[in-house]
Amino acid sequence: MIPRTRPRAALAVLSALLLSAAAACSATGERTPARLGDSGAPAPSSAAGSPAARGFTLVASGDVLPHTSVIRRAAQDAGGEGYDFGPMFSGVKDVVSTADLALCHMETIYGEEGGPFSGYPAFTSPPQVADGLRATGYDGCSTASNHTLDDGAGGLRRTLDRFDKVGLKHAGSARTAAEAAAVTLYTAGSAKVAHLAYTYDTNGYPQPEGMPWAVNLMKQDKIVADARAARTAGADVVLVSLHWGTEWQTEPDETQISLGRALTASQTGGRPDIDMILGTHAHVPQAYEKVNGTWIVYGMGDQVAGEMFNHSGARDLRGNYGSIGRFTFAPPAAPGQRWQVTAAEFVPQMMDLSAGRVVHLPDALAEDPDRADYESARDEIAAAVLGRGAAKDGLKQAGAR
């Protein structure tokens, strides 16, 4: 295991109910055996005021999309010995590693240890990407995307095997039916946090033969049923990652708006079934918005990517812009009520291709206020993120540390 840079509750700590069912866990040993889609009453939350009740901070970030140039950079950073993606994330490591729970989005799948590797249009990435994510402080990633089946069942399996090896959890794709039916749970503060993930499509690749559950597809009824199953499995907070939206479009599209409204309106016993939606895929930063009392991040943009070209074929700098969402959750006032987001913040970041690094823009501008490219990136990201009025609901832009 890679040493952590912050204290955390042990991720393996589960309730007595879950421990009693541990024999039914999937091969990874990282998920609860409660089946997605099962029905049942919501499990009670930890109440504020109880000795064990502790809030937590969540960090979530956008698409990790290693183009060929990104792979070459990781080879350079490894000094000719394999691939090292850790330096690429060094500028945001403090943000990620100081959160109680940190989630990324792994858009591509991994090849064999020695390659061959490829970029667009069918990605096969070095498995050392997972090592870099874990070293940065991520606890897990969503793995449902339009590229999840770029190399069929083999690519999916290699990716999740590497996650297991380095100690990352995952949601959205699975190697076995049992794994697909289980709930991915984390412990953050005193909360049990479920992570669910779905994609709008898999670029026309069908689910592998005999594996109709390999990748979670974005269907409203399934998402709601899975969220309710996560509550039954003991989740206090349910996070849903959605790979959705229209590429290169800053404004959320009609599907994002309508599905976001429907999912945030879904309740059981007067309690929302979903506590937050985290969006990826559009390749540009999109808005954060509070809908039906629940935060939706329509799109965080790309965290790691090479040169990006939009639909007109033009180089588009926005493809290297992104935001990191940082949210503080507090325990509910009474058992059975929802955990509340008491602070919401975004960190503007960009992939500086000349440096081969993800840049924490507030820090970078504090060090070099004359960087016009950084200033422009920060301002464009802020305009997109705040474009649907999130400031009135308390969303703030992070400053320099």
Under DSSP, is residue 155 helix (H, G, I), strand (E, B) or coil? helix
Closest to 379 (Cα-Cα) out of 318, 336, 328 = 318
Distance, CA of 229 to CA of 76 (rounded, Å): 45
Which DSSP letter does residue 391 get? G
In sequence order, the 6+-apart residues with CB closer than 8 A to the CB of 7 are none
Global confidence as pTM: 0.89
Q: Which tokens hold the place of 42?
A: 């919501």
Distance, CA of 378 to CA of 380 (rounded, Å): 6
Distance, CA of 226 to CA of 38 (rounded, Å): 7
Question: What pLDDT, on a 0 to 100 scale, did the predictor assign at position 357?
Answer: 98
Q: Which tokens hold the place of 83?
A: 């691939």
Distance, CA of 196 to CA of 125 (rounded, Å): 23
What's 183-217 look like in SS3? EEEEEECCEEEEEEEEECCCCCCCCCCCCCCCECE
Residue 2 lies in a domain: no
Find out whether the peptide bond into 116 is cis, omega within 30 degrees of 0: yes
How many Cα neighbours within 13 Å face the side chain of 102? Answer: 21
Exposed/middle/buried for 401, CB within 10 Å: 0-12, 13-18, 19+? exposed
| Local confidence pLDDT in tens for the 401 residues of the chain | 333 334 333 333 333 333 333 333 333 333 454 556 543 444 444 555 555 789 999 999 999 999 999 999 999 999 988 999 999 999 999 999 999 999 999 999 999 999 999 999 999 999 999 999 999 999 999 999 999 999 999 999 999 999 999 999 999 999 999 999 999 999 999 999 999 999 999 999 999 999 999 999 999 999 999 999 999 999 999 999 999 999 999 999 999 999 999 999 999 999 999 999 999 999 999 999 999 999 999 999 999 999 999 999 999 999 999 999 999 999 998 988 999 999 999 999 999 999 999 999 999 999 999 999 999 999 999 999 999 999 999 999 999 98
Domain count of the fold of the chain: 1
- Phi, psi for 321 (deg, rounded to 5): -105, 150
User: What is the enclosing helix (H) or strand (E) of 352?
Assistant: strand 340-352
Could you tell me the residue range of the domain that residue 276 belongs to?
44-397
Residue 5 lies in a domain: no
Distance, CA of 245 to CA of 233 (rounded, Å): 30
Residue 302 lies in a domain: yes
Give the CATH number of the domain where residue 52 resides: 3.60.21.10
Question: Position of tokens 């009609």?
Answer: 254
